[in-house]
């Protein structure tokens, strides 16, 4: 008995592959450009839109941040797999991370490093038992503003004049390979007080500059004074 093996020809398959081949030949420069752009944005640099006010007054709604995705790691494009670690996040860095618990990309400031013990009382931080220095900038409604000295890095924060449930937390030791992050708008931020400490492998980059900014409340008119604004 003879057995025969073969593949059934799919009607029109030659036409389909022919059309795809023609599309590739006619558009390969453009397609290669698109692929290169996606790879670049995935592994090297990208921009990130900020839709909320959790980082006010440093970052406001409508800012588009330039994200350096090589600040900490060289990664396999389109993944979180690190090929080479270049550095670790530093205290005060504004980091972008893909939070599994929040199920979205977030922008926050690094407060606690691995091994640190962090506590907060009435929006006043303690790091490893050291009380941070605060300089009151102004009191307003609904937020008051102060300058926080984050062990050498000065930046402004917002908070409610009256204490809330977000204003204080007991001492927390940051585990290895994790970071405690907070928003600069301390009473209006779903940060480590809500989602817990952030694993290092969720951090995808660092932001130091606003590229462009659009005013959501005024017909998306560009805020030219924030173009290329340093954070």
DSSP secondary structure code for residue 195 in this structure: H
The β-bridge partners of 37 are none
Annotated catalytic residue, options 54, 189, 192, 213: 54
Q: Which two tokens stand for residue 108?
A: 């926050």
H helix or E strand, kind and range, residue 31: helix 13-43
pLDDT at 2 (0 to 100): 47
Residue 108 is a catalytic residue = yes
State the DSSP code for 230: B
Identified catalytic residue from 56, 108, 189, 192: 108
Q: What pLDDT score does 190 carry?
A: 95
What CA–CA distance (Å, rounded) separates 6 from 1?
17
Question: Does the annotation count 104 as an active-site position?
Answer: no
Q: Which residue has the tokens 């036409």?
A: 15
| pTM greater than the 0.95 cutoff | no
Q: Report yes or no: 216 and 61 within 8 Å, Cβ to Cβ.
A: yes
Series of mean pLDDT values for 10-residue runs along the chain (231 residues): 47 66 74 67 76 94 95 90 94 97 96 98 96 85 91 94 92 98 96 97 96 91 95 94
Q: Domains for the chain: give ranges and CATH numbers.
A: 44-226 (2.10.109.10)
Q: What is the pLDDT of residues 162-177, one digit of tens each?
A: 888 999 999 999 999 9
Within 10 Å of residue 141's Cβ, how many Cβ atoms?
Answer: 7
């Amino acid at each position: 008995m003879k057995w025969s093996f073969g593949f059934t020809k799919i009607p029109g398959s030659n036409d389909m592959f022919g059309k795809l081949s023609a599309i590739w030949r006619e558009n390969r420069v453009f397609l290669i450009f698109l692929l290169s752009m996606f790879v670049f944005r995935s592994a090297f640099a990208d921009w990130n839109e900020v839709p909320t006010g959790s980082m006010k007054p440093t970052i406001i709604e409508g800012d588009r941040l330039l994200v350096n995705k090589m600040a900490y790691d060289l990664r396999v494009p389109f993944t979180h797999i690190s090929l080479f670690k270049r550095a670790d996040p530093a205290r005060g860095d504004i980091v972008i991370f893909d939070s599994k618990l929040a199920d979205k990309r977030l922008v926050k400031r690094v407060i606690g490093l691995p091994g640190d013990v962090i506590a907060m009382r009435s929006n006043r931080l303690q790091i490893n038992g050291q009380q941070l220095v605060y300089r009151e900038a102004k009191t307003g409604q609904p937020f008051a503003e102060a300058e926080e000295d984050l062990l050498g890095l000065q930046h402004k924060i917002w908070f409610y004049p009256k204490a809330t449930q977000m204003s204080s937390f007991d001492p927390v030791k940051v585990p290895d390979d994790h970071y405690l992050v907070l928003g600069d708008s301390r009473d209006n931020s779903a940060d480590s007080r809500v989602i817990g400490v952030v694993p290092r492998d969720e951090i995808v980059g660092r932001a130091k500059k606003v590229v462009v900014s659009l005013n959501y409340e005024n017909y998306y008119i560009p805020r030219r004074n924030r173009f290329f604004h340093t954070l």
